Amino acid sequence: MNKLGGEFSCAIWDADKNRLILARDPFGHKPLHYYKKTNNTLFFSSEIKGLLAAGVPAELDLVSLSDFLSLNCIPCPATIFKDIYQVPPGSMLIADPGGIRIKTWWEPRIVVDQSITFEDAVSGVSSAFKRSVEQCMLKSETYCFLSGGMDSSALISFATEIANRKIHAVSVGFEEEEENELQDAATMARHVGAEHHSLIVKPDSFFDMLGTLVWHHDSPFTDTSAYPTYFAAKAGAGFTDIILTGDGPDQTMGGSGHYVFAVKNNIFAPRSHSRRLTYGLASGLLETMAKDPVPSLFSKAYRKLYRESLSPVHAAYDIRSYFPDIVKRFLCSDEFWEVHLGNNPYRHPESWFRNAGSLDDVNKYLYSDMKFYLPDDLMIKVDRMCMAHGLETLSPFLDRDLVAIINQLPGSFKVNSKDGKITTKRVLKEICRKRFPPSILNKRKQGFGIPLEKWLRQDDGKFLKEILLDERTLNRPYFKKKSLKNLVETFLLNKGDYFYPSPNAVAGLLTLELWHRNYLD
């Protein structure tokens, strides 16, 4: 397996040993699902809908649904379907007359080499990335997604340097100026001499497309950047069947906002048992005064005290959750809340941090994201949305040799705090310093977002109310009717905040209901 590079999932029949081998690439870029019947029959398919077409029963897994709500997506190997699993990234499933076993052949192990200087790190990462980009330039004409951010701009810069002809850049923008990065993408394309192809996406198609996006995911989702990714893929597929992406460095080199928050607030500092117990007792008293999560003096104090009562890792992921514990308890039926209590979703990040060992906090957080967010959110979104148009993606930042070099670096080479200023993706930023125009190098990180809140409220929330307040939705056994109505009303009247109700939580509930109707009803 170590001789294979890039993105893949495959099935190999070994006739000599009478065994089947299913294998998946290191970061789970390509999907591979399986279902085992009690009579030792094994079904496998890249898409879950392939298993369902073969007669595999479609049943919701309540533990996976609980994990989805708390963690924003479902950790591998589980799926939203009961008894349907993923082959884990960097792993093989071996099925023979003796049964089924999983063998890991690669994982994103981080072993820091303290002897590496920052200058050596910059040189090593730059050289490895250049080699990776060159290996991905398989066709006579090279196409790259270009958002105008650092990662895709680095990709287009290196690709242009390597090629002896024009590189093609594909970008998607929005009518809403505040979410539109097309100008930055155009600036970078001009800077390197790339041919720029751009597309404007209109909000009218968002609700029309939501069911289609769910169908391609085979699952509910909260990452609404799937929508622009879908249209970027549609645009790219008009030119090519292979495109390079800038995915990966946020999770390997520390580019996301939660790393900044973690460093700025030292959130992984140990908390004594007595301190957590004291905050837990205090939060319990305030819980009775804060009748719902709608922002108020009591509810905000309750949030603060409750999070202080948690372990540092639990608190960190509760902050990231679109359904933090307090919101989830308010929303869930008593029966479904028992599922949460019996299968604490935060068992997953706690185990990732334990497995990371004695690394610094930044590298622990990155290891956790490489084990979870990267394969179970980012790669799923990119592959499903692009393959919806028959567009294969290659991600040079996720080359194994490159990641191995990055994983030797101290956390301070990735996310660095100095004189009150926090620098993310420090190594990559240094690499790009002489490659970018100042407007790109110093721009604020935007991500591949959409004006979600604005779109969800359009037409007085007509689509939102038609789906979430429909009797079918309200009668599901997962949520309390009164609480679900409160969430929708609070959101549409704009009486909430970042905590409750999150726009991504609303989107997650929409995709859950659409998934339920398409796959189970």
**pLDDT tens sequence across 327-348:** 999 999 999 999 999 999 999 9
**pLDDT tens sequence across 176-193:** 655 567 889 999 999 999
C-beta contacts of 299-304 below 8 A and 24+ residues apart:
299/326, 299/500, 302/326, 303/499
Residue 39 DSSP symbol: T
> Is the preceding omega at residue 77 within 30 degrees of 0, hence cis?
yes
Residue 88 DSSP symbol: P
Q: Considering the chain, what is the average pLDDT of its residues?
A: 94
Asked if residue 385 lies in contact with residue 229, where contact means CB atoms within 8 angstroms, the answer is yes
- Paired tokens of 399: 């080359």
**380: Cβ–Cβ under 8 A, 6 or more apart, which residues?**
28, 31, 73, 217, 221
**pLDDT tens sequence across 428-482:** 999 999 999 988 888 877 766 788 998 999 999 999 999 999 999 999 999 999 9
High-pLDDT (> 90) share of the chain, %: 86
User: What is the C-alpha separation between 286 and 473, in angstroms, rounded?
Assistant: 31
pTM score of the predicted model: 0.95
Q: Where are the beta strands (DSSP E) in 141-285?
A: 143-145, 168-174, 195-201, 242-244
User: What is the C-alpha separation between 186 and 168, in angstroms, rounded?
Assistant: 12
**pLDDT tens sequence across 310-328:** 999 999 999 999 999 999 9
Using alpha carbons, select from 77, 83, 80 the residue that is nearest to residue 22: 77
Quickly count helices (H) and strands (E) in the chain: 25, 14
Asked if residue 102 lies in contact with residue 88, where contact means CB atoms within 8 angstroms, the answer is yes
Instruction: Report pLDDT for 62.
Output: 98
pLDDT at 223 over 70: yes
| Residue range 137-154: mean pLDDT, rounded | 94
Instruction: Report pLDDT for 433.
Output: 95
Residue whose pair of structure tokens reads 């080499």 in the numeric block: 113
Q: List Cα–Cα distances, 356 to 68, 71, 88, 187, in angstroms.
A: 23, 19, 18, 40
Helix axes 361-371, 347-355, angle to 10 degrees: 120
**36: Cβ–Cβ under 8 A, 6 or more apart, which residues?**
42, 43, 83, 100
Instruction: Report pLDDT for 443.
Output: 80
| Residue range 485-506: mean pLDDT, rounded | 97
Instruction: Report pLDDT for 181.
Output: 79
Asked if residue 169 lies in contact with residue 149, where contact means CB atoms within 8 angstroms, the answer is no
Instruction: Report pLDDT for 204.
Output: 59
User: What is the C-alpha separation between 186 and 169, in angstroms, rounded?
Assistant: 9
Instruction: Report pLDDT for 199.
Output: 83
**pLDDT tens sequence across 3-32:** 888 899 999 999 999 999 999 999 999 999
Other CB atoms within a 10 A radius of the CB of residue 422 amount to 16
pLDDT at 501 over 90: yes
**162: Cβ–Cβ under 8 A, 6 or more apart, which residues?**
130, 133, 134, 137
What ranges in 388-451 are assigned the alpha helix state H? 400-406, 426-432, 438-441
* Window from 42-46, 92-96, 206-210, 379-383 with minimum mean pLDDT: 206-210
Asked if residue 95 lies in contact with residue 42, where contact means CB atoms within 8 angstroms, the answer is yes
**13: Cβ–Cβ under 8 A, 6 or more apart, which residues?**
19, 20, 21
Tell me the longest C-alpha to C-alpha distance in the chain: 69
Asked if residue 440 lies in contact with residue 150, where contact means CB atoms within 8 angstroms, the answer is yes
pLDDT at 203 over 70: no
